[in-house]
Amino acid sequence: MNDFWTHWYFHIPNYVLALIMYVMLGRLVLGLFVPENWDNYIWRSFKAITDPAVRVIRYVTPTVLSHPVVLIFGVLWIMALRLGYLVLLINLGLSPLGGAA
């Protein structure tokens, strides 16, 4: 039995959130070396993937914070969201880790 498809409701959202989180980290690190309006295709794809999440995070964080700090908070919020989703599934007994017996 393929565990991925058995627990697709956990793996697919987790992978999407992990993708956004790691691309946000990449954007943060690359942003230390390049200007914000750089026209490189990798930079544009980093921004295209993370901009929707950054807009949401910018909405819930104080406006006094700079853009790199918002990216750091974004990584932390997404980590918390992934952990919270796992805890929810464990409590519902739907987790791939086993959950309640």
φ, ψ dihedrals at 94, nearest 5°: -110, 5
- Quickly list H helices, the chain: 3-6, 8-31, 41-60, 67-92
What pLDDT score does 6 carry?
Answer: 86
pLDDT at 5: 85
What was the pLDDT predicted at 3?
76
Residues of the chain with pLDDT under 50: 99-101
pLDDT of residue 101: 46
10 CB contacts (<8 Å, ≥6 apart)? 85, 86, 89, 94, 95, 96
Question: Which pLDDT score is estimated for 86?
Answer: 92
For residue 98, the model assigns a pLDDT of 62
